[in-house]
Copies of this chain bind each other. A is one copy, B any other.
Amino acid sequence: MTGVTHQKWWGWGIEGVAFTYDNKPNMPAFVLDKVGIDLTAPGTPPPSFADLDVPATRVDDALADALREAVGVAHVVIDDMERVIHTYGKGLADLVKVRAGILPRVPDVVVYPGTEDELREVVDATVAADAVLIPFGGGSNISGSLTPRGDETRVVVSVDTGRLNRVLEVDEHAGLARVQAGVLGPDLEEQLQERGWTSGHQPDSFRHSTLGGWIATRSSGMQSDKYGDIADIARGMRVVQPGKVLELRPLPATSSGPSVREMVLGSEGRLGVISEAWINVHRLPENREIIAYLFPSWGAALKAMHAVSISDAQPSVTRISDANETAFSFSTQKESTGVSGKVQDVLFETLRRRGWDLDKVCLSYVGYEGGAARIKADKGVVAKIVRSHGGIRLGKGPGALYDQKKFDTPYIRDFLLDIGALADVSETAAPWSALMDLYTNTMRQARAAFDELGVRGFIMCHLSHSYHSGACLYFTFALASPHSDPQLQLDQYWHVKAAVQQSFIDSRGTISHHHGVGTDHAPWLEEDISPAGTDVMVALLRGVDPRANLNPGAILPAHREWTTGTIPTASSGDGTATNGSSAAGDGARRPAART
């Protein structure tokens, strides 16, 4: 009908694809031991859409007709399945809610513009009707940025960019491509690679996220050390706003005042709908290798990655897993691949004899791209650093395996939910000098949160992106909830999530390195960028969208939102702006704006 395919309405990824432990013989014992979850217990079947009580659409005929006029009858969809699909992203809370049929507010209509002109008409009609507009790309958002506010009384229009999926032109001389914002990762790479180019952008969500979504949330990919974050990659853009189009031409750099480009990046729909972007593209690399290394401890691995980041080497990927994630990785390996079975036993025995504590081993991947000479030189620099930090080289096998399987991880959350376990992620970035404490504090705070709940829980971490002055740490946590009641599950989830996010802030980290703010991280925004920084953000968003039609609720904490008719005041009131410790220290505080 619309020609746009979607992820499962109730979970991650493609209908029919699911995680299985069948080919991972060590995994059930590991998970039972660490988290107290029995993977072999019978899981609940996927939820049935028929059980959902979907609230009726509130769209009126005038707006619906205007939208049909804009995009054609076939591309204005009011059926319940489509509306539910466009209600949530894929955060853990989203999954719990949609499975349980918790649907306080569902978009009233889904619109699929096929051109920028159609998109302009959609935006104008929506705002003219004083309705709310929420852009929707691949639906993979995990920070709560796609969901209408629970108390939204206006009509809500979800604008799905799925039909805007073409590479429009490649400037081969400049290494720039003009691409429509609704293109999914694999589709983008296919169109680019058939012309000999790549964007190099590979977020974990790659298969189910779009260029527009990457820009709107300041996404980062696993090869960002070489290709840059999307903030580096996206050079020009067009954003459809009420009555006009914001046009930023592709420039390698500019000093034209405060960067409007960097305002669109991370704007999560609040400045309009991104219709297309000019992105840096690169020739496919001559060679590409991912090498695995092992370190005797997290501290040693962290020091080694820091040394690599300030060395003469310029790898494309720098990744280290802590001991927990390393153990998890080994437990999920298939019998026939990677460093497994007998080979692994022999390796570990050797390391034990060398004095390694096998409970502390950390797995690392470093990627290399370019000409043979460059790769050789970079590998030499890294090898020396690895050795000087007590590490060893495992080789290409595990790296190749990681490279193949890197996009499969998100499926595991749905499998765990089926058997009553809650798993999700939180990630941050901080200076190198803060990372060890941030890691230790976050592990401690998460465990304290598990204890407070009286549940078994597990938390693991990897470093995924390195910069000159710091890096991104990416935490995954899981807990065995005793509850089947979704609200009780959510309470437990938010208790842990909040402890982790608060630890980031208290440990000199940011609330998110590459997942955006959404509603889930918004309660910490003022601590992240200071109250005065939040005032600046409000001034910007409110000045552009005085009636709050553009994805209200995203980015800003609820008490900083405005509605039509409220008196504009940019200041939070008390005039002070020291960015100290948490005002309340309420580890249980949670994003409530949209529930």
From 243 to 265 in chain A, residues with beta carbon under 8 angstroms from any chain B beta carbon are: 243-260, 262-265
A575 contacts partner chain B, Cβ-Cβ < 8 Å? yes
CB neighbours of A579 from chain B (8 A): 247, 249
From 292 to 348 in chain A, residues with beta carbon under 8 angstroms from any chain B beta carbon are: 306, 310, 312, 314
Give the contact stretch, choosing among A63-71, A529-537, A586-594.
Answer: A529-537
CB neighbours of A312 from chain B (8 A): 370-371, 373-374
- With most chain B CB atoms within 10 A of its CB, the pick from A252, A370, A432, A509 is A252
Q: Could you tell me the distance in whole angstroms from the C-beta of A414 to the nearest C-beta in chain B?
A: 25
**Across the interface, do B517 and A255 meet the contact criterion of CB distance under 8 Å?**
yes
Closest B residue to A514 by beta carbon equals B255
Q: How far is the CA of A42 from the CA of B188 in the complex (A)?
A: 66
- With most chain B CB atoms within 10 A of its CB, the pick from A250, A255, A433, A510 is A255
**Across the interface, do B539 and A174 meet the contact criterion of CB distance under 8 Å?**
no
Q: Could you tell me the distance in whole angstroms from the C-beta of A310 to the nearest C-beta in chain B?
A: 7
The residue from B374, B532, B555 contacting A246, defined by CB atoms under 8 A apart: B532
**Across the interface, do B256 and A469 meet the contact criterion of CB distance under 8 Å?**
no
A257-B570 CB under 8 A given contacts A174-B431, A262-B262, A532-B245: no
Closest B residue to A544 by beta carbon equals B539
A467 contacts partner chain B, Cβ-Cβ < 8 Å? yes
**Across the interface, do A469 and B280 meet the contact criterion of CB distance under 8 Å?**
yes
A468 contacts partner chain B, Cβ-Cβ < 8 Å? yes
**Across the interface, do A259 and B262 meet the contact criterion of CB distance under 8 Å?**
yes
A104 contacts partner chain B, Cβ-Cβ < 8 Å? no
Per-residue CB proximity of A464-506 to B under 8 Å, as 1/0?
0101111110000000000000000000000000000000000
Give the contact stretch, choosing among A10-18, A266-274, A355-363.
Answer: A266-274
A259-B266 CB under 8 A given contacts A173-B433, A244-B531, A312-B374: yes
The oligomer's copy count stands at 2
**Across the interface, do B255 and A536 meet the contact criterion of CB distance under 8 Å?**
no
CB neighbours of A314 from chain B (8 A): 314
The residue from B268, B511, B544 contacting A535, defined by CB atoms under 8 A apart: B544
A218 contacts partner chain B, Cβ-Cβ < 8 Å? yes
A537-B258 CB under 8 A given contacts A173-B432, A175-B432, A243-B571: yes
Per-residue CB proximity of A138-177 to B under 8 Å, as 1/0?
0000000000000000000000000000000001011110
A32 contacts partner chain B, Cβ-Cβ < 8 Å? no
**Across the interface, do B539 and A247 meet the contact criterion of CB distance under 8 Å?**
no
Name the interface size band of chain A: 35 or more
**Across the interface, do B256 and A259 meet the contact criterion of CB distance under 8 Å?**
no
Closest B residue to A224 by beta carbon equals B253
Per-residue CB proximity of A564-595 to B under 8 Å, as 1/0?
00000011000111110000000000000000
**Across the interface, do B258 and A263 meet the contact criterion of CB distance under 8 Å?**
yes
From 47 to 67 in chain A, residues with beta carbon under 8 angstroms from any chain B beta carbon are: none
From 534 to 561 in chain A, residues with beta carbon under 8 angstroms from any chain B beta carbon are: 535-544, 555
A516-B257 CB under 8 A given contacts A433-B173, A532-B244: yes
A229 contacts partner chain B, Cβ-Cβ < 8 Å? yes
CB neighbours of A555 from chain B (8 A): 257-258
A508 contacts partner chain B, Cβ-Cβ < 8 Å? yes
Closest 3 CB pairs between A and B? A539-B543, A252-B470, A262-B262
List the interface of chain A (C-beta within 8 A of B): 171, 173-176, 217-220, 229, 231, 235, 239, 241, 243-260, 262-268, 271, 280, 282-283, 306, 310, 312, 314, 370-371, 373-374, 377, 429-434, 465, 467-472, 508-517, 521, 525, 528-533, 535-544, 555, 570-571, 575-579
In the complex, 28 of the A-B residue pairs with CB atoms within 8 angstroms, ordered by the A residue number, are A173-B431, A174-B434, A176-B469, A218-B259, A231-B253, A244-B535, A244-B571, A247-B530, A247-B532, A248-B530, A250-B469, A251-B430, A252-B469, A252-B470, A253-B467, A254-B512, A257-B516, A257-B517, A258-B265, A260-B536, A263-B536, A312-B371, A312-B374, A536-B543, A536-B544, A538-B543, A539-B543, A540-B543
Identify 18 new A-B residue pairs, CB closer than 8 A, beyond the known A253-B472, A271-B536.
Answer: A174-B470, A175-B310, A231-B253, A239-B532, A245-B530, A246-B532, A252-B467, A252-B472, A255-B266, A255-B515, A255-B517, A257-B266, A257-B555, A258-B267, A259-B259, A259-B263, A263-B263, A282-B310
